[in-house]
Amino acid sequence: MNSSSTVLDIAQLHVAAVARQRFRQRVTMLLRDVSLSVQAGEVRALVGESGAGKSMIVRTVLDVAPVGVKILSGQINLLGLDWLKTRALERRAHLGKDIALIPQDPLTALNPVLRIGRQMGDLLAQHLPLDHNARRELMLQWLDAVQIREPMRVLEQYPHELSGGMRQRVLIAMAFSCKPQLILADEPTTALDVTVQREVLALLRQLQRQHQTAILFITHNLGIVAKLCDSATVLHSGMVLEQGSVAEIFSNANRHQAAAYTEALLAATPRYDRPGEMLTPVAPEVTTALRQKAAAFDKRYANEHRIQLAQAD
Amino acid sequence: MMIGPGATEQDIAQLKALYGFDQSLVMQFWLFLQSALSGDLGTSISLKREVTELIGERLPLTIELSMLAIALAVTLGGLAALLGTYARGSWPERMLDSLIGATIAIPDFLWALAGILLFGIVLAILPAFGLMNGELRFTPATGFYLTEALLTGRFDVLGSMMVHLLMPALSLALPLTAIIARVLKASLIEVMGQEFILLARTRGYSRWRVLLREALRNAAIPALTLTGVQFTFLVGGTVLIEKIFGLPGVGAMAIDAVTNRDLPLIQGVVLTFALIFIVVNLLVDLLNAALNPRLRGA
Amino acid sequence: MLTTLNPRIFFGCAVLLALVFTAVFAPWLAPHDPLTQDLLYGSLPPAWSVGGEPAYLFGTDTLGRDILSRLIFGAQPALIVAVAGAGLAAIIGVSLGLMAGFRGGWIDSSISRLVDVWMAFPAVLLSIVLVAILGAGLGSVVLAIAIIDWTRFCRVVRAETMQQAQLDYVVSARTIGFTGFQTLTREVLPNLWPLILTLFTLEMGIAIVVEAILSFVGLSVSSDMPTWGSLIRDGRLYVNQIPWLLGLPVLAIAITVLGLNALGDGLREALDPSVRV
């Protein structure tokens, strides 16, 4: 696979939550004209505060959007397939194998009543044509690769018997185990202790380089963006504000309004080389302006496509 | 009550002494316990036989009937819960909820009577009385009618018995089926909303597979304890159901014992039922521990 | 609360009203006297089938008594037992529940323990044994229902009372100088009425079923005054000859139970919309 091929290409994606309100179908926009792409081997950050829509993008791509959430328009090109037009059965063949998810909270992400070995084994059995012994070998190899010290013991254990860091390593192992082309990482270190965070991030970087996996890395931590990622997409209110390489994002923070948010984010990030500096939170005018922009977008879109927006009660 | 009219003072006194009625109530109970522990539950006044013998003959059938009923309840209830969860959000699901609600409200003996009317009389496809076809002759050695018929290869008898037991078992099962369906479905829906289910879906597992292999074990745990408690109600229901369908089990005997004021028999039967409930509760606790690894202790 | 009238409450109320109406106006509604025997017209099939008489719409039982009239008059004991039985159970259960929930401490633990042990007994067996001891008759049936099912009220009332006792209005009532008893009756209890009402309607359905079971077993009213349970008993015996003798009371009880349950569920939903039953 040459390095210029695109693994994921989202084009003009509009996603909304649809609900019945006062006898009509009403729409709450969640993603507004989102376009982003990830190249093979690239590590792209998806940056934004909570509610910006980052998780929604991931869930839409993985076909696990919550009930009531619909794709209004747009295209998703994944692994060379027109993803939205692909049949569910075919999509399932790729999910977990060519595209995988590393979730945010390792505690709730593992089935509490099944052993680790069973959960990993099921995944491998679903996608790889290996027999029982080969699967077991592969699981042990991967647990070793994520620096788990007693892999054979861990296979027999239940999730609640492992520490948070170990659970996340298991999840990372599972994500990488079928050698996917793209991994979606949804804030994988947020739920971990700070010391463990660094180890896990280092591990991720190492595995990524080793297997040349493309990663879409959701985070609100700009420090991670700087250390780990090649490029970034900044999101707010379901809209893409700016995109580019990490160098561009960090240096161009002075230009126009969209970048004002990024600038504000950067200014709000504590910097270890300027420890005494006061933190300036993101100015409310910036977020208000962005929300107004979103509202204006919604009105235009609703008019154009003749749909009803949900009303705040 | 136990002796005919025209008995003399002396007869009454004799009878009293024989049954220990001349002693205080507490003493009577204590004596009863003592003999019960040694296996002697006394003699039935109305049936003129050892209570232990009578119970021993009839208890196995009641157990088999209860097992049949619970198997039905778990299967039908589980199926309903799974289908309801899979069809979440659609109108069939809402219909199922209403159906479950209505089924819970109707007690087992009404189901039995309705069944007799519908399947026994109107449609005339199921027998409404007795354990098997009158022409068949079968007396099990242990009292375990179904098991013995199966093991000795008497499939004609087995078939006839299953047909006769279908309505009784179903009547007993239906209220429990509805409860299982409701509780399990609620539990499944809750589990399906959890994070690890989401993750399972992103691994390419189909919805059915996620439901069965990932969600069910988690959801079954809370549903199970409730089922265990409800099972004791089911066993209590055998009392009436056996009477209605004329089945030779312990339950029907219980009713007769009460109407005949047969004290030793009543005591024996009540003790038997109490033991059954204790055993069932124990089994439920064990099952709970088996399914939920977090309960097994550090 | 009228605005939250949902179909269940509507159906339930309709059934309840029908029951009351039938019971009260039975002498005028029933085409015949339920006790009059006419052996010439015994075991008649319903009026629309061969051999039936138009005077006896659903036929007669073995002693020539009109089935429909007996059914209609059967509503009377049903209603009496429902109201009295549920009422008595409510009085016992609510009182104990209030005490347990309000006082806490050893009163609570002993009452709770009592409830647990009580609920472990199988209801059917217990009721049969009880009535056998107390002797037949409607009074015993009412007593039996109350003795068996008071725990239902007790548990719920106790839980609610414990919750309410934390709230401010209770504390302020104490500061005004209300005694515990006054607080309970004047402040807490009024808040519990809707809940108690819901349980009451459910309990009525249960009471009717219990009475039917006891009649079926021969332990209810001993006269030949008809109850739905005694009709079922006779009907079961003669189900092949006179199926309606079994069918009518089964239908009557089923509809009544469904209606009362719907009413209870509907009320519960109306009180607490977050609980979708």
On whether the CB atoms of residues A152 and B255 are closer than 8 A, the answer is: no
Give the pLDDT of residue B33: 67
Residue C70 pLDDT exceeds 80: yes
Cα separation, C102 vs C95, in Å, equals 11
pTM for this entry? 0.78
Average of per-residue pLDDT across C28-40? 84
For chain C, what is the radius of gyration of the CA atoms?
22
DSSP single-letter state for residue B119? I
DSSP helix/strand/coil, C66: strand
On whether the CB atoms of residues A99 and A168 are closer than 8 A, the answer is: no
Residue B105: which of C125, C217, C257 has the nearest Cβ? C257
Give the pLDDT of residue B206: 87
Mind listing the domains of chain B with CATH numbers?
56-297 (1.10.3720.10)
Q: What are the tokens at A57?
A: 């993008």
CA-CA-CA-CA torsion sign (C6, C7, C8, C13) = positive
Chain A, chain B: beta-carbon pairs less than 8 Å apart? 67
End-to-end CA distance of chain B: 59
Give the pLDDT of residue A226: 84
Residue A6 pLDDT exceeds 60: yes
Report the mean per-residue pLDDT for chain C.
83
Give the pLDDT of residue A293: 85
On whether the CB atoms of residues A61 and A93 are closer than 8 A, the answer is: no
Please report residues of B whose CB lies closer than 8 A to that of C240.
Answer: 121
Cα separation, C182 vs A220, in Å, equals 58
Average of per-residue pLDDT across A208-230? 89
Report the mean per-residue pLDDT for chain A.
85
Could B107 and C209 be called an inter-chain contact, meaning their C-beta atoms sit closer than 8 Å?
A: yes
Q: Count of CB atoms within 10 A of residue C103's CB?
A: 15
Residue of B nearest to C237 (CA): B244
Our answer on whether A and C touch (3+ beta-carbon pairs < 8 Å) is no
What is the CB-side half-sphere exposure of residue A293 using CA atoms within 13 A?
Answer: 17
Residue A163 pLDDT exceeds 70: yes
Give the pLDDT of residue A212: 92
**Residue position matching structure tokens 């069918």:** C247
Give the pLDDT of residue A273: 63
Confidence of residue C249 (pLDDT cuts 50, 70, 90): very high
Q: Count of CB atoms within 10 A of residue B190's CB?
A: 13
- Give the whole-number percent of chain C exceeding pLDDT 90: 18
The bridge status of strand A6-21 relative to strand A69-78 is antiparallel
Cα separation, C233 vs C256, in Å, equals 18
Average of per-residue pLDDT across C183-208? 84
Residues of chain B with pLDDT under 50: 1-7, 297-298
Give the pLDDT of residue B10: 55
Cα-based torsion angle of the residue sequence A19, A23, A25, A26 in order, rounded to the nearest 10 degrees: -70
Please report residues of B whose CB lies closer than 8 A to that of C207.
Answer: none
ipTM: 0.79
DSSP helix/strand/coil, B113: helix
B198: closest CA of chain A, how far (Å): 7
DSSP helix/strand/coil, B121: helix
Residue B117: which of C122, C132, C250 has the nearest Cβ? C250
C107 — contact with chain B (CB < 8 Å)? no
Cα separation, B171 vs B164, in Å, equals 12
Confidence of residue C216 (pLDDT cuts 50, 70, 90): confident
Cα separation, C246 vs C240, in Å, equals 10
Residue B202: which of A64, A112, A160 has the nearest Cβ? A64
Give the pLDDT of residue B1: 40
Residue C3 pLDDT exceeds 90: no
Q: Which chains form contacts with chain B, at 3 or more CB pairs under 8 Å?
A: A, C
A266-272, Cβ contacts within 8 angstroms, sequence gap of 24 or more: A266/A222, A269/A221, A269/A222, A269/A223
**pLDDT digits 0-9 by tens, A122-132:** 999 999 999 99
Our answer on whether C and B touch (3+ beta-carbon pairs < 8 Å) is yes
Q: Which chains form contacts with chain A, at 3 or more CB pairs under 8 Å?
A: B
Could C258 and B244 be called an inter-chain contact, meaning their C-beta atoms sit closer than 8 Å?
A: no
Average of per-residue pLDDT across A156-176? 92
Average of per-residue pLDDT across A269-286? 69
Q: Which residues of A269-297 are buried (b: 16+ CB within 10 A; e: fewer)?
A: eeeeeeeeeeeeebeeebeeebeebeeeb
C104: closest CA of chain B, how far (Å): 26
Q: Return the closest-CA partner of residue C73 out of C45, C108, C36, C46.
A: C36
- Beta-carbon contacts of B74 under 8 Å, excluding residues fewer than 6 positions away, are B180, B227
Residue C252 pLDDT exceeds 90: yes
- Beta-carbon contacts of A92 under 8 Å, excluding residues fewer than 6 positions away, are B204, B205, B206
Residue A113: which of B198, B200, B292 has the nearest Cβ? B292
**pLDDT digits 0-9 by tens, A24-56:** 788 888 999 999 999 999 999 998 887 778 888
Q: What are the tokens at B183?
A: 């509780």
Residue B236: which of C123, C216, C258 has the nearest Cβ? C123
On whether the CB atoms of residues A69 and A56 are closer than 8 A, the answer is: yes
Could B266 and C129 be called an inter-chain contact, meaning their C-beta atoms sit closer than 8 Å?
A: yes
Q: Return the closest-CA partner of residue C165 out of C100, C212, C245.
A: C100
B9: closest CA of chain C, how far (Å): 24
Crossing angle for the helix pair C189-217 and C243-271, to the nearest 10 degrees: 170
Cα separation, C277 vs C274, in Å, equals 9
Cα-based torsion angle of the residue sequence A282, A286, A292, A294 in order, rounded to the nearest 10 degrees: -70
Instruction: Give the least confident one: B30-39, B242-251, C89-98, C148-157.
Output: B30-39
Q: What are the tokens at B67?
A: 């097992």
DSSP single-letter state for residue A312? P
**pLDDT digits 0-9 by tens, B136-163:** 777 777 778 888 888 888 888 888 888 8
- Give the whole-number percent of chain A exceeding pLDDT 70: 90
In the 3-class helix/strand/coil scheme, how is B4-69 assigned residue by residue?
CCCCCHHHHHHHHHHHCCCCCHHHHHHHHHHHHHCCCCCECCCCCCEHHHHHHHHHHHHHHHHHHH
The bridge status of strand A231-236 relative to strand A214-219 is unpaired
Cα separation, C21 vs A137, in Å, equals 77
Identity of the residue numbered B74:
V
Residue B130 Ramachandran class (φ > 0 left, ψ -120 to 50 alpha, else beta): left
Could B204 and A110 be called an inter-chain contact, meaning their C-beta atoms sit closer than 8 Å?
A: no
Q: Count of CB atoms within 10 A of residue B174's CB?
A: 24
Please report residues of C whose CB lies closer than 8 A to that of B254.
Answer: 125, 128
On whether the CB atoms of residues C260 and C16 are closer than 8 A, the answer is: yes
Give the pLDDT of residue B6: 44
Give the pLDDT of residue A124: 93
- Of the ranges A129-138, B269-278, C31-40, which is most confident? A129-138
On whether the CB atoms of residues A146 and A201 are closer than 8 A, the answer is: no
DSSP single-letter state for residue B88? T
Cα separation, C224 vs C212, in Å, equals 15
Q: What are the tokens at B141?
A: 């050695």
